[in-house]
Amino acid sequence: MPSSSSSPPDVGALGRLAGTVLLVGFGAFGCAGAPASLEPLRAFGEAAPAVRLASGMDFCEGPVWRADSKDLILSDIPGKTLMRWSEAEGLTDWMELDGPNGNALDVDGELLTCVHGARTVVRHGPDGPLPLFQGLGGRRLNSPNDLTVQSDGVLWFTDPPWGLERQRVGRELPGNWVYRLDRRSGDLRAVLKDHSMPNGIALSPGEDRLYVADTGGHPSHPDAGLHGRPATITAYRLEGGELASPEPVWQIETLCDGMCVDGAGRIFATGQDGVTAWGPDGGYLGLIPVPERPSNVCLGGPSGQTLFITARTSLYRASLPPR
């Protein structure tokens, strides 16, 4: 998602959007039991309120928990710095990087980072951050934003233009696409081309669904036909580690930046008022309020039941009760 200098389109209050679900293939709108307005999360018992852990960043994003070192890596995009937080040391600068955004761990536990300045995804190894690709067909991508990693090492990532000046200067590709990268073969493909501003991305626990957040239509998109698109979360079917179809399984109209999925398949999505929770079928479960508008979220902590939430200038956490 962008820094505060390039805000997403105003799609209205989340309360007007939550619970609107298109079940593609079933021809039905609406979601049984979806509330008319957002309420504090109660579907899992009472989640602990979001507590601020650190502040003072310009615009933070991309949290990822590292269980081995018991710490969290996150990005300060305009600050051009990867940050590190731990219970013992608090928040510290970890590495300078030109516009870091989404972070994830690969199958070997190495850190991967979407980098706006380099317009690629880098892997942090013993020799420092190394790019995983240089572009597509000789042209640079826009500004890779967020990513998720399959158990076989395949990467899925989004590429909106938030890292470009005015979201258009220096653009070399005709759209804002979702990509699949097979690191073993080097095959980089645009697999979804009909999104306006693809942003957060996540996999289901069984890796049979790919979830893509789209922050909606924006006048910077080169295709004027996409300027009026609503903000959505869309579920796609995967088979054998590949996109089975570009047709959605379901789609929710709701504003979401980054998101994560727990072992039960519940989706935690950063929205306008906090972190919204959704079931694997797209059904609305509730809201965890956050004092600042959140940008991304991950699960971590000793039990894996802590939500770490980046929200504008601050890092928060909220503890979920056992599943």
Local confidence band at 5 (pLDDT 50, 70, 90 cut-offs): very low
Global pTM?
0.88
**2-6, 123-127, 131-135, 269-273: least confidently modelled range:** 2-6
- The answer as to whether 139 is a domain residue is yes
Token pair for residue 71? 């710490």
Q: What is the pLDDT of residue 216?
A: 95
29 belongs to a structural domain: no
Please name every residue paired with 214 in a beta bridge, in sequence order, or none if there are none: 198, 232
Higher pLDDT, 227 or 9: 227
Give the model's pLDDT for residue 322: 63
Quick: pLDDT tens for 279-318.
Answer: 999 999 889 999 999 999 999 999 898 999 999 999 999 9
**Residue 184 CA to chain centroid, in angstroms?**
24
Number of domains in the chain: 1
pLDDT digits (tens, 9 = 90+) for 82-127: 999 999 999 999 999 999 999 999 999 999 999 999 999 999 999 9
Q: Is the dihedral of CA 57, 316, 107, 182 positive or negative?
A: negative
Residue 301 tokens read as 């902590």
Range of the domain at 70: 41-319
Percentage, residues of the chain above pLDDT 70: 84
2 domain-assigned: no
Q: Which residues contact 3 (CB under 8 A, 6 or more apart)?
A: 58, 59, 77, 78, 162
Predicted confidence at residue 32, as pLDDT, reads 27
Q: What is the mean pLDDT of the chain?
A: 86
What DSSP string runs through 133-180?
---BTTB--S----EEE-TTS-EEEEE-STTSGGGTTT--SSS-EEEE
Any domain includes 303: yes
Q: Is residue 18 part of a domain?
A: no
CATH code, 209: 2.120.10.30
Q: Take residue 2 and report the two structure tokens written for it.
A: 């962008």
Q: Is residue 31 part of a domain?
A: no
